[in-house]
A and B are shown apart, each in its own frame.
Chain A
Amino acid sequence: MSANLTELILDRAHSAVISMDETGLVTYWNPSAETIFGIARDDAIGRTVADLIVPERFRHGHLDGLRRFLATGEGSVLDQRLEVAGLRADGTEFPTEMTISAFQDAGRWTFHAFIHDISERKESERDHRRLLEQLQRALHNSERRFDAIVGSLTDAVTIRDRNHRFLYANAAALAHLGFATWDELQATAPAEIMADYVVWNEDGNEVTMDDIPSVRILRGESADPLLIRTIHRPTGEQHWNLLKAAPLLDETGEVEATIMIIEDVTEQKQAERQNAFLAQAGAVLASSLDYEQTLRNVAELAVPDIADWCAVDLVDEDGDRRRVVVAHQDPDMLKRAEQLREYEPERLDPGRGVGRVLNTGEPLLYPEITDPMLVDAAVDDRHLELLRAVGMRSVAIVPMRAGSRSLGALTLVNAESGRVLDRFDVGLAQQVAARAAVAIENARLYSERALIAHTLQQSLLPAELPQLPGYELASVYIPASQSTEVGGDFYDIWRVPEGWMIIIGDVTGKGVQAAALTSLVRHTMRTASEFEASPARLLARVDRTLHEQPNKSVCTALCLRLETDRATIAAGGHPLPVALTAQGASELGEHGPLLGGFPNATWEDRIVNVLPDTAIVMYTDGVTDAINADGIRYGTQRLHDMLNLCGGRSAAHVIDSLTANLEAFQTGRHADDTAALVVRRLPVASVAMRAHDDRIAARVAHGGRQ
């Protein structure tokens, strides 16, 4: 390093730096030296160190030492920390801490001294000694009872001086701070003790020395009691402490020392948090019947209150791992968890970890994860590297069972918080796991039922709408929100000799019975239509079939036979279809009785012309009965108003508008299932286009069955 650069750095050093040559003359004097000794650089350079900063009574020794070193090469004071008195320009002395080094360059010695002013430190040490003596005298003489009372308190009591050094600590405080004797505590710096702990307040924010009530008192602030959660780094033990502090004043009213009482509230706090946590867990777990969401809720519940990580493993009947959800507050750590999961076999080892917990049904606690354990568990080097990077400290695994069924396991991992999991955590995790298992099982059954219902519902509706020459078709089926049951609405369309038969209906009731009834009505209709062309007579046939059912079975249905330019309509207790033209909307046909409801009922056919660009809208009462948040029904008027805006538009447009309008009205939730079907006679120009397209399509699909 060049001399210039060295000086550049030394000029900015916090320590006073002084260089001296063999003759004892000052060759370098940095700004800190100027401040500490009160002598300017220009005044110092060229004068002797002995004259400048060594008190007179030590000058002789200083010069002797220098001569001895130059003669023999022996320097007893070199390269060690010395506490020596320094002399200021004004003649006052002060304690310093000094380190001296000697360098030889071109046969000549240079000495460098690094000097700190330690007068403040010395003073506080003296104060501490004085206070300690006073207090001990007080304890010993006049207030003998003090230690007898305070000493036997179960709360930790400490008294500290203005520099946070301990003047007194009772037996509970010694135990709490992890010291066997008072002397041991005295020999340890306060900052060192604090460094052994990670400390949070109740809100989970880190607590620093400045927040401690006794320190606040010294700053002249009010010191409200402070609840802290500590984790002792070496042991990983968690404690909840309530810190209370009060000042000890001297004769002049100045704060001389602080008394702090540390109350261990770990048990109350854990019980309180457990109750709060379980209450929250109950609410969260009951909040969703969505399977995936429930799994995520379970995992996220435990983080970060109980553990840094939480994983939920689900297994199938064979005990193979089926699904894993991991929760962690830090997305980067989550990524690591995903990578780690790649190493986990689908078939679980019944002898260890999750596999063992599932096998035995008993929880497993690894309070301390050691490196050899990681080495033992690692499959390869990368795996080991990942395991080490995660820094697991403590792991607990508890089983999740619903009845006699083993669903999987809940794994809690503590890493960066450093907290060791204990029996208490396992107990809490078991309670959460029991609730989680019920929630997961419910969600699973629910989604299974919803799937079955959905599949069954699909089977009751045409897979896709057929192509009708001269017409276009569109339909919608909206199942009731939050329902796992098959709804009662249905529609169907099929070819008959005269044209097309369309039916839309609603069997009252839900579930398997409704599905069976829907199926019965559709098949009766389809079969009867092979020899019966009249919609009214088809309805009569269905009515008869329904009356033959052992249980009261009723159904509304609208039957419409569509030909090139006209339709034959019969209604059985069903809302009438709406004809929609550019001029507006109007109902078609005539009401007829409900099917299966009344004895001796009859129906009549109504024939209507269907002009080009006319849409016929058929719907179930799910549309008109829809109820909004204010309890208002959608109703026929709203439906007609909405349809009036759709005159002359495509069938798909009408269906889309209706669906969007209903969604908006009900704010997305359907109380009942809803079906609608629109058949629109194409305008003349479109028909010509379509016929042209159909001819091309027919040529392409040569041989395809019409």
Chain B
Amino acid sequence: MRRAELKIEDCGRTESAVILAVAGELDMSTIDALAGRIGTELERPVQSLTIDLGDLAFMDSTGLRLLIELNDRALREGWRLALVTPRHEAASRVLTITGAEAALPFQSENGR
């Protein structure tokens, strides 16, 4: 059993907006890294958080759960969450199976 790797990249920020790009694999072994980073970003008030999952190679139900909780929090706290759909099937599969692609604020990469 090998530990998966996850890369989180800062893709630009303003006073009130943060864009993170996530590459690699998002599963139970890497979820804490992303949850921790997002937690840190949300310590200051933001108006929008964009998470680009375009280069994500794999995501499992743990990753999906994080996105659902994040979406709930955005609705509750009144800021905007935007997600970019993963290009890799192994990452988008869990979104397709669970109906998350339709239910969560996904947008195509160039339709920002």
Contact = CB atoms under 8 A, between A and B. Distances in A.
A629 interface: yes
B100 A594 contact: yes
Interface of B is mostly: helix
A384 to B, nearest CB: 55
Nearest to A596: B68
Given A591-B97, A631-B2, A635-B90, A508 B58 contact: no
Nearest to A599: B103
Contacts of B25: 631
Interface stretch (A20-28, A261-269, A665-673): A665-673
Contacts of B93: 636
Interface residues of A, number: 35
Contact of A630 (B2, B64, B69): B2
A670 B1 CA distance: 7
A631 B27 CA distance: 12
A605 interface: no
B98 to A, nearest CB: 3
A627 interface: yes
A625 B98 contact: no
A193 to B, nearest CB: 61
Interface string B4-43: 1100000000000000000001011100000000000000
Contacts of A508: 61-62, 64-65
B33 to A, nearest CB: 16
Contacts of B4: 627, 631
A601 B100 CA distance: 11
Contacts of A573: 97-100
Contacts of B5: 631
Contacts of B100: 573, 593-594, 597-598
B58 A556 contact: no
Given A601-B103, A671-B1, A574 B97 contact: yes
A597 B103 contact: yes
B103 A481 contact: no
B107 interface: no
Nearest to B97: A591
B61 A556 contact: yes
Contacts of A594: 64, 68, 98-100
Nearest to B75: A599
A86 interface: no
A432 B61 CA distance: 44
A669 B93 CA distance: 24
B65 A481 contact: no
Pairs A-B, 8 closest by C-beta atoms: A593-B99, A573-B98, A598-B103, A594-B98, A669-B1, A508-B65, A631-B2, A625-B60
Interface of B: 1-2, 4-5, 25, 27-29, 58, 60-62, 64-65, 68-69, 72, 90, 93-94, 96-100, 102-103
Given A508-B64, A509-B65, A554-B65, 17 more contacts: A552-B69, A574-B97, A591-B99, A593-B103, A601-B99, A621-B94, A625-B60, A627-B2, A627-B27, A631-B25, A633-B90, A666-B1, A667-B1, A669-B1, A670-B1, A671-B1, A671-B29
